[in-house]
Amino acid sequence: MRMRATFVALLILLWGASLNASLGAAAAADCAGEADALVKDESELPQLDVASRADRPILCITLETVMAFAGRLKSHVAHCPKSTYAAAAAEWEKTRTGYSKLFAQNRCRPTLRN
């Protein structure tokens, strides 16, 4: 009976270890997928220097889009600290903070939903 209990405990331990390993691999794949999506999204970001300050709706949408991207990047780096974006996270956070101020100064209203 004791041998059977030991065997069952060993099976449970091994099953848990294999589950943790597979979850770790899934998380690594998820990080790579997130990074790929961020690369694509970054290439499609609107440029603030193209948006006319006289055209407030376009300016606000541009600011909000870049702020949302910076927030996604921050979340990604928190989840995946070894990401290729980890080095750029501080600069993107500065951009997000600066754009948030411009967003408020131009009396923009949020349009994107989380």
37-70 pLDDT tens trace: 999 999 998 888 777 777 888 889 999 999 999 9
Instruction: Check residue 83 and give left, alpha or beta (phi > 0: left; psi -120 to 50: alpha).
Output: beta
| More confident site: 11 or 73 | 73
pLDDT at 107: 92
62-109 pLDDT tens trace: 999 999 999 999 999 999 999 999 999 999 999 999 999 999 999 999
Q: What is the pTM for the complete model shown?
A: 0.70
Q: 55 near 48, Cβ under 8 Å?
A: no
| Average pLDDT, integer, range 8-27 | 42
pLDDT at 49: 77
pLDDT at residue 13 greater than cutoff 60: no
pLDDT at 5: 44
First-to-last C-alpha distance (Å) of the chain: 55
Q: Residue 28: pLDDT band by 50, 70, 90 thresholds?
A: low
